[in-house]
Amino acid sequence: MENQSKGIKKYLGGIICLVIVIGIFGGIGSVMGLPNMLNTIMKTAHDLLLNTVFYLMAICVITGALGRIFVEFGVVGLLERILRPLMKPLFNLPGVASLGAVMTFLSDNPAIISLAKDKRFSTYFRKYQFISLTNFGTAFGMGLLVIVFMVSQGFFVEPFIGLAGAVIGCITSTRLMQRFIVKQYPDFKEEFAAVLDENDMQEQESVKETSMFTRILNSLLDGGKTGVDVGLSIIPGVLIISTLVMILTFTTGDNGVYDGAAYEGVGFLPWLFGKINIIFEWLFGFEHPALMAFPITALGAVGAALGLIPGFIQEGWVDGNAIAVFTAIGMCWSGYLSTHTAMLDALGYRKLTSKAILAHTVGGLVAAISAHWMFVLYALVFGTPSTFEGGADRYEPANKVIAFEMVGDNQIRVGDRVFTDNPEDKSTDDRSLANYIFDYLKSNSEVITADNEEGTKLNVAEFIFDKDLPEDMYESLYREVRVGFSWYMDEVAMKYFKRPVSELTAEEKAELDELIPFRFDREDVEPLAVEENGSEE
């Protein structure tokens, strides 16, 4: 009987693993269909590898080379000297800790460990401060990569608001960890982490006399090689974690059916977080529950979390506030669940891992909340930040009428995009004109509300009469604009009433009308008036 019990325990882990794997992929496959699920997984991972991982690797190589140049020519030392006076009052750490912040910002979390292994560095710290370097260094890990990536997506002010939030989160995490350590080990408050002996005192660093050109070349190549290593290290996280998160986040394509294309999914995470989205909306300012996929992914790998952003931008879910929060929580957490154990083990204090993780979880949440409310304050004082031209253009000028222009047979140019008017409602970039109208209304609602005079609303119907078009095109265009406007109305209704417009009462519809800065009044549109027909209703 005892042997039988041992046999069951031996295979219990395998049985549980099978149940979990079959449960997850069986559930996804039952919704998408098994062939579609497998095709979507492969195509999504392949697209992430080509269009996200290699892009991130390119950034890693450039930032790695830049970081090594900074080290070689004393920029890091200069920054350390400038930041040193802030260490004690903010983080309760010796001034030399600023060197750890700069190094992890330029590279990744483990850079703080290579410094901590140097006795000349660690002698400045009491034990409780020395152990808290794990939390301190992690909060700045891959910071340069995160900020450069956000700027490359077209956002400039928001990443630096996020950086300020990450600093606040780092202060919280570091001091909370120090409090935990002193409470559990009071002696660590007075004991030094290391003491130099005679051999250490006599150790001298050999300096080779080399030419300026050689130093620059070696720094660029060595730093770039380090960037390649970092880029390769993020491949598993991006391909595995991001693919799974995207399948749980996105839904069907524009045609409303599963066909095995990349970036399709079952929409589980938006549904889950939608149940409690009011919490994240107030704390983080997230307007769409799917955005919670970023901090969840950042727990394990910030590189994988960055891989989600292009898809979020394409779906129209990302605004300036989200970028600020993503930067703050992405930097502060930066995959700490996957690095904290190894880092504390390297320092010789693995037993404090649970304390470090708890402190850093709190720090990351504080970073995100701080970034959100700093963004709100910035928007109130200076207005909504602008983005670079050609970037993630979420802040187009208010009251700008969308201009349509005929450029060929059934080809319509809208700004820099060309749509094909056909029965399948397809466009040349696989997104319909209704999608474009919906994105425009959603991304400009707050800007238009702020700029319009009180009581005025922008007439969406005017969009289709800005240019002279063939008469037979107006009705088709009108339907596209109306569909986009309907989607926007449902989005706002779901946000405030948790139900679509069709399920609202007359009083709620009147309240909804007061919430939006747009109207859809075709009767006052000139010069052409086309009669309504039943197909539009």
How far apart are the two ends of the chain, measured CA to CA in Å?
A: 72
Higher pLDDT residue, 102 or 59?
Answer: 102
Average the pLDDT over 54-71 and give the result: 72
Nearest to 140 by CA among 107, 179, 118: 107
Q: How far is CA 299 from the centre of its chain?
A: 12
Mean pLDDT, to the nearest integer, of 115-119?
Answer: 67
pTM: 0.61
pLDDT of residue 172: 96
At 432, the pLDDT band (50, 70, 90 cuts) reads: low
Q: Name residue 459's beta-bridge partners.
A: 519
**pLDDT for res 171:** 95
Q: What torsion do the CA atoms of 294, 295, 301, 306 make, to the nearest 10 degrees?
A: 30
Q: Are 129 and 91 in contact (CB under 8 A)?
A: no
Q: Going by DSSP bridges, is the β-strand pair 458-459/518-519 parallel, antiparallel, or unpaired?
A: parallel
Q: Which residues pair with 411 in a beta bridge?
A: 408, 420
Beta strands in 361-460 (DSSP E): 404-408, 411-414, 417-420, 458-459
How would DSSP label each residue in 65-80?
HHHHHHHHTTHHHHHH
Please tell me the predicted confidence (pLDDT) of residue 409.
57
Contacts of 427 (CB under 8 A, 6+ apart): 417, 418, 419, 420, 433, 435, 436
Q: What is the pLDDT of residues 263-321, one digit of tens each?
A: 788 878 777 776 776 777 788 988 777 788 888 888 767 877 888 888 888 777 788 89
**Residue of 387, 268, 275 whose CA lies nearest to 324:** 387
CB count in 10 Å sphere of residue 11: 10
Cis preceding linkage at 397, omega within 30: no
Residue owning tokens 């400039």: 156
Q: What pLDDT is attached to residue 401?
A: 47
What is the predicted pLDDT for the residue at 370? 95
| Contact present, 177 and 132 (Cβ < 8 Å) | yes
Q: Which helix (H) or strand (E) holds 3?
A: helix 2-32
Is residue 125 classed as helix, strand or coil in its secondary structure? coil
pLDDT recorded at residue 232? 77
Give the pLDDT of residue 325.
94
What letter would DSSP give residue 123? Answer: T
Taking the C-alpha atoms of residue 62 and residue 235, their distance in angstroms, rounded to an integer, is 17
Q: Quick one: CA torsion of 407, 408, 412, 416, rounded to 10 degrees? A: -40
Residue 421 has pLDDT above 70, yes or no: no
Percent of the chain with pLDDT over 90: 13
Q: What is the pLDDT of residue 399?
A: 39
Residue 274: count of CB within 10 angstroms of its CB: 17
Q: Tokens for 453?
A: 């005079």
Two structure tokens written together for 25 = 């992929």
Percentages of the chain per state (helix, strand, coil), in multiples of 5: 70, 5, 30
Higher pLDDT, 251 or 332: 332
| CA-based nearest residue to 222, from 107, 121, 335, 140 | 107
What would the two tokens of residue 520 be? 């859809």
Taking residues 188-193, report their average pLDDT.
84
Region class of 276: left (phi > 0), else alpha (psi between -120 and 50), else beta:
alpha
CA atoms of 501 and 492, how far apart (whole Å) = 9
- Which pLDDT score is estimated for 374? 94
* pLDDT band at residue 177 using 50, 70 and 90 as cut-offs: very high
Nearest-5° Cα angle at 394, 392 to 397: 125
- Rounded CA-CA distance 271/490 in Å is 16
DSSP 258-304: --S-TT----HHHHHHHTSHHHHHHHT--SSGGGGHHHHHHTT-HHH
Instruction: Give the tens place of pLDDT for each residue, 119-176.
Output: 767 778 888 998 998 899 888 888 888 998 898 888 889 999 999 999 999 999 999 9
- Helix (H) or strand (E) run with residue 178 in it: helix 157-184
34-38, 508-512, 514-518: least confidently modelled range: 514-518
Residue 193, C-beta contacts closer than 8 angstroms, at least 6 positions apart:
122, 123, 125, 126, 127, 129, 130
334-380 pLDDT tens trace: 867 666 776 777 677 878 888 998 999 999 999 999 999 999 999 88
Sketch the domain layout of the chain as residue ranges: 1-32, 404-536
Which structure tokens are listed for 377? 């304050």
* Residues 346/87, Cβ–Cβ less than 8 Å: no
Average pLDDT, the chain: 75
Q: Select from 314, 403, 372 the least CA-distant residue to 165.
A: 372
The residue written with tokens 């794997």 in the block is 21
Task: Give the type of residue at 525.
Answer: V
Q: What is the CA radius of gyration of the chain?
A: 27
> What pLDDT sits at residue 176?
95
Maximal CA-CA distance, the chain: 95
Rounded Cα–Cα distance for residues 532 and 521 (Å): 12
How would residue 535 be classed by pLDDT, with cut points 50, 70 and 90?
very low
417-420 and 411-414 strand pairing: antiparallel
